[in-house]
Amino acid sequence: MSGTVDYTVADHPESWTVEDTAERFRSPKVAMRSDWVRMPGSGGRTEVVQRDLFVHPGAVAVVALDDAGRVLLLRQYRHAVGHQLWELPAGMRDVDGEPPVRTAQRELLEEAGYRAATWHELADVFPSPGFSTERVIVYLARNLTEVPAEEIDFERVHEEADMPLEWMPLEDAVRAVLTGRLHNASAVIGILAAQAAVRDGLSTLRPALA
């Protein structure tokens, strides 16, 4: 029925029995492991099935929206996909105990040179739930202030050494998503979520909880 909200359609945590597990690889930030999981089989029976997992600490991304309705994008080389991608300021949650909104604030400052006075949560997603534990929280940051470079205690190296910055009107960014010009998952999700939030007068936004 039009105008109603079905709150029964919502994801929820669940854990099936893991009979065995083996770590295949570990680096300082990520790992790979195999789990043997007991799952439903045919005829009401269960069976143990191997599932390989990419273990990821999680990440954050930031839709920085200025007073003119423009979104901030950064271009970064991504070796795994062989592309220069226009992305949101973003980063891994690789500091133990750091709240995700604090990680988002730090990434916005370090990668783009901005602070924001107003923060809300836009989306909370599992980008590749079929094989990865990665969870990405996308924030909306508003009431922005540019920070002088000499006040930022961060050295940009490797892929971050050359990241052009572009302010794009939100409507143009949405068009770039829908015409297939943008491919980064967090950027696609964040831009479309921001458009929906702005359309609703920002009334549906969730607080960015620490």
Residues annotated catalytic, as ranges: 160
Angle CA 29–87–144, to nearest 5: 100
The amino acid occupying position 133 is T
Tokens of 64: 């920085």
Distance CA 187, CA 194 (A): 10
DSSP 162: S
Instruction: Tell me how far the alpha carbon of residue 100 is from its chain's centroid.
Output: 11
Q: Burial of 140 by CB count in 10 Å (0-12 exposed, 13-18 middle, 19+ buried)?
A: buried
Distance CA 190, CA 196 (A): 10
Distance CA 5, CA 16 (A): 30
Question: What are phi and psi for residue 183, nearest 5 degrees?
Answer: -125, -15
